[in-house]
Amino acid sequence: MDTGLLEGLLDWMSLDVESLRKVSGVGTVRASQLRRSFQAAREKPFHQWLAALGVPPGIDTRTAGEWSVLEGRTLAQWQAIPDVGSVRSEALQAFFGHLEIQRLAQRLQREGVAGFRSAEAGQR
Helix/strand/coil (H/E/C) assignment for every residue in 21-46: HCCCCCCHHHHHHHHHHHHHHHCCCH
Is the same domain home to 58 and 116? yes
pLDDT (tens digit, 9 = 90+) per residue, 70-121? 998 999 999 998 889 999 999 999 999 999 999 999 999 988 898 997 644 4
What is the count of structural domains for the chain?
A: 2
Which range marks the domain in which residue 32 is found?
11-42
62: number of Cβ within 10 Å: 10
Who wins on pLDDT, 43 or 117?
A: 43
Q: For residues 22 and 44, give the distance between their C-alpha atoms in angstroms, rounded to a whole number.
A: 27
Sequence-ordered list of residues with C-beta below 8 angstroms from that of 72, at least 6 positions apart, any chain: none
Is the same domain home to 37 and 52? no
Who wins on pLDDT, 63 or 102?
A: 102
Q: For residues 44 and 5, give the distance between their C-alpha atoms in angstroms, rounded to a whole number.
A: 23
Is the same domain home to 34 and 51? no
Is the same domain home to 89 and 36? no
Sequence-ordered list of residues with C-beta below 8 angstroms from that of 114, at least 6 positions apart, any chain: 43, 45, 46
In angstroms, what CA-CA distances link 57 with 51, 54, 67, 114?
9, 9, 16, 21
Is the same domain home to 52 and 38? no
Is the same domain home to 35 and 51? no
Is the same domain home to 62 and 112? yes
Measured in degrees and rounded to the nearest 5, phi and psi for residue 26 equal -110, 115
pLDDT above 90 coverage of the chain, percent = 41
54: left (phi over 0), alpha (psi -120 to 50) or beta: left
Please report the pLDDT score of residue 13 as a whole number.
Answer: 80
